[in-house]
Chains A and B, each alone.
Chain A
Amino acid sequence: MSSFKETMKKITSNPVYVKWLKDAWPYLTGAILLSLFQIVTLATTYNPWGVTGPYTNWGAWIFELFGGSVDKWYYFSSEGMQRTLENGFLADGGSVRNVGLILGALLAVLFASQFKIKKIKSKKQVVAAVLGGLLMGYGARIAYGCNIGALYSGIASLSLSGWVFGIFLFLGAIVGSKLLVKYFM
C-alpha cells in the first residue's frame, strides 16, 4: 500500500508528468496543434473541420430510432446528406471525430487527475444549460456552422463569412455576458 503511494508520488512529482499531463499547455501550443490537425482534416476528408454538423446527424439518427423520418426536412434533403445518414454513424468521419473529442477530453482530465462530477447548484443552472444548449444548437444550424465550422474553418478557408460570423459572435458574447451578470449573479 505504502509502496503504491510512493510510486504515485514519484509519478505526480515527475517534471515530465507535470509538464505534459498535469499542467495546461500554453495557448500557443494548442493553437499550433489545432492548426496542424485542421489541415490534416481538410487534406484527408476534403471537408473543413466542424463539430456541430455531425451532432445534427446524431439528432436525426436518434429521431429515426424512435420511428421518425427526416427525409422531407430541408436541411437533410440533399443527396449527400441522405447518403451520410444512410451510411450510418461509423462511416461519418465527423461523428467519429466528435467521439474522439469527448474521449480525448476525458483522457486528458483523467491523466491530470482532475475528474470531478460537479453538483448542480440550482434550478437556474439547469434552465440556463438547457436554454443555452438549445440556442447554440439552433443558432449553429441557422448559421450553417458553429464557432468551429463557421468561424474557425471559415477564416482558415479565407472566407469572408468567417469574419462576419466572428464579429457577431463577439457582439452576442457582450449581450450574453450582460444578461449573465444580471440574472445569474
Chain B
Amino acid sequence: MKEVMLDCFGEACPIPLVKAQNKMKEMDIGDILIVSIDHSCAMKNLPDWARGEGHNVEVEETGDGEWEVIIEKVK
C-alpha cells in the first residue's frame, strides 16, 4: 500500500478531477491518493466522482480555502 500526493493548488476545475482520474488509473488497489486543492468546486466534484466509482473518500480542510481530498482505491 502506498500513498500518492497530488498537488493541485492553483488549478481550476476540471483539472484537479481529470488529474486525479489519470493518477488513480496508475495506482493499485489499497493505495491512497491525497489531492491538495484550493478550488472549492473540486471539493465537490472530486469526492462525488470517487464515491460514484465506489472508492472511500474523505475531505479535510487543511487551511483557509485549502483542502485535501483523500481517496482510497478499493477496486
**Residues on A close to B: CB < 8 A?**
24, 109, 113-116, 118-121, 125, 177, 180-181, 184-185
When the two chains form their complex, are residues A115 and B64 in contact, meaning their CB atoms are under 8 A apart? yes
When the two chains form their complex, are residues B65 and A116 in contact, meaning their CB atoms are under 8 A apart? yes
When the two chains form their complex, are residues B15 and A118 in contact, meaning their CB atoms are under 8 A apart? no
B61 (CB) vs chain A CBs: closest residue: A114
B7 (CB) vs chain A CBs: closest residue: A121
Contact with A along B56-73 (1 / 0, CB 8 A): 000000011110000000
A128 (CB) vs chain B CBs: closest residue: B12
User: Are A114 and B10 CB-contacts (below 8 A) given A24-B44, A184-B15, A185-B18?
Assistant: no
Interface size class of B (residues with CB under 8 A): 10 to 19
Q: How far is the CA of A20 from the CA of B63 in the complex (A)?
A: 20
When the two chains form their complex, are residues B18 and A120 in contact, meaning their CB atoms are under 8 A apart? no
Q: What B residues does A118 contact at CB under 8 A?
A: 9-10, 38-39
B41 (CB) vs chain A CBs: closest residue: A24
Q: How far is the CA of A125 from the CA of B22 in the complex (A)?
A: 20
Q: How far is the CA of A185 from the CA of B64 in the complex (A)?
A: 26
Q: What B residues does A113 contact at CB under 8 A?
A: 64
Q: What B residues does A184 contact at CB under 8 A?
A: 15
B63 (CB) vs chain A CBs: closest residue: A116
Q: What B residues does A121 contact at CB under 8 A?
A: 9-11
Q: How far is the CA of A119 from the CA of B40 in the complex (A)?
A: 15
Q: What B residues does A185 contact at CB under 8 A?
A: 15, 18-19, 22
